[in-house]
Structure 1
């Protein structure tokens, strides 16, 4: 999935042909254009995943591993519903 935007609390918005996702809580600082691949769930309760990261600044030549929390996954319509339900207006 490509990093396409930033959300509140340092969460990142990702997108690929399957849909969109929001992740947060990792150790790396990611930029728009970086790629994140969810590998395996590490913790069921916290929705923590082992991920591979490749950086656009390095032309995606190498990958790093990290753990991030998956906060949301779905399509764009579901994303709008999620944001409306979780954002203070």
Structure 2
């Protein structure tokens, strides 16, 4: 999935041909254009955590770096709009 934007504090918005996702809690600092590959779901906590591979655009996508992150949302754009409305303080 491609990093396409920033949400809230450290959360990132990802998108690919299957939909969108919101992740947070990664150890690396990610930028728009980087790629995140969800590899394996880890035992449940508050949010599902995944083992991920990261490929940095600034490194011209050469090499993968392993990390863990929380997946806070997955779905399509319409579901994302509902999620953001429900979780945003007004």
**Structures share fold, TM-score greater than 0.5:** yes
Counterpart CA distance in 2 for 1:27 and 1:44 is 19
TM-superposition CA deviations, 1:43-70 (whole Å, max 9, x none): 2223110000000001101110000000
Work out the CA distance in 1 between the residues paired with 2:9 and 2:51: 20
Note the aligned Cα RMSD (angstroms).
Answer: 0.7
Structure 2 residue aligned with 1:5: 5
| Displacement after TM superposition at 1:9 (Å) | 1.7
Q: What's the secondary structure of 1:14's corresponding residue?
A: strand
Q: Give the unaligned 5+ runs of structure 2.
A: none
Q: How many residues align?
A: 89
TM-score, normalised to structure 1's length?
A: 0.97
Question: Which residue in 1 is equivalent to 2:68?
Answer: 67
**TM-score under structure 2 normalisation?**
0.96
Moved over 4 A (4+): none
Q: List aligned pairs for 1:15-26, cutoff 5 A.
A: 15-26=15-26
